[in-house]
Structure 1
Amino acid sequence: MIRSRALLAAAVLALAAGLSACGNSSDNAEDNTTQQMTAPKPTASASLTADRRETIFLDATAAHLCSVQSQVYTDPSAMASAYASRPIYTDLSTDQVETFQQRVISDAAFADRLTQRIQATCGTAK
């Protein structure tokens, strides 16, 4: 579980450098099967509200980070690659995703919302 804003920011920065999809852990990249995480589709495919776009970003990012954190990595580069991979942000443009990633770094309230979403998605450690 990501417990501090500094770790959250590092994870998002790695995510920003990302690849195209989430990956399973494995020391051998050829044995990896690719997972793609998508946020739920909105009920209306017309223009999305700002709140809905934020929800899509927060949900997809939280699901991705929970997936990465749930894996055991024996190879540090495999773990780094998993964090750097980018989930699919259904119905968001690349520019919108970049804007949200910058907000995680620069907007403490938004970063806190992501942290809360990660905790709710991953569960809390006991």
Structure 2
Amino acid sequence: MIRSRALLAVAALALTAGLCACGKSGNSTKTEMQAPKPSPSASLTQDRRETIFLDATAQHLCSVQSQVYTDPAAMASAYASRPIYTDLTAAQVDAFQQQVVSDPAFADRLTQRIQATCGTAK
């Protein structure tokens, strides 16, 4: 289920990007070219990028945790899959993932976000 939603989101982004890159349809004159726009992550503050990472990771882990897996490999694959981090580059995500391992305070913030997102067991 998670994988199919992620693939659907990626497919939608690819389709949108493909449609945007085609230029104006029905225009037989010279196609207009536009300069690439700066990355959305360039205008985000470090705190906002961190929030995006923590929220997406917490939502992903809660979603995986809520599923029932009969195959341990499928469960491991679901946990290992990377959610979509809107407005973050792959390098930024990699840096945050390294920070989870190397910075105990950051790991604690992720743990708190997971608890707030998933709720607590009763």
Q: Taking structure 2 as the reference length, what is the TM-score of the superposition? A: 0.69
User: 1:69 — aligned with what?
Assistant: 65
User: 1:113 — aligned with what?
Assistant: 109
Query: 3-state DSSP class of the match of 1:88?
Result: coil
Alignment of 1:1-126 (within 5 A): 22-23=2-3, 34-36=4-6, 47-126=43-122
Query: 3-state DSSP class of the match of 1:100?
Result: helix
Q: Taking structure 1 as the reference length, what is the TM-score of the superposition? A: 0.67
Query: 3-state DSSP class of the match of 2:116?
Result: helix
Query: 3-state DSSP class of the match of 2:112?
Result: helix
Q: Distance in 1 between matches of 2:5 and 2:82?
A: 11
Q: Distance in 2 between matches of 1:109 and 1:90?
A: 23
1:64-97, Cα deviation, whole Å (9 max, x unpaired):
0000000000000110110111100000000000
**Runs of 5+ consecutive residues of structure 2 not aligned to the other structure:** 10-39
Letter in 1 for 2:106: F
Q: Which has the larger radius of gyration?
A: 2
**Runs of 5+ consecutive residues of structure 1 not aligned to the other structure:** 1-21, 24-33, 39-44
Q: Distance in 2 between matches of 1:104 and 1:110?
A: 6
How much is the aligned-residue C-alpha RMSD, in angstroms?
2.0
Q: Distance in 2 between matches of 1:112 and 1:64?
A: 17
1:27-78, Cα deviation, whole Å (9 max, x unpaired):
xxxxxxx02398xxxxxx5600000000000000000000000000000011
Pick 1 or 2: higher relative contact order, CA cutoff 8 A, min separation 6: 1
Give the length in aligned residue pairs: 90
Query: 3-state DSSP class of the match of 1:105?
Result: helix
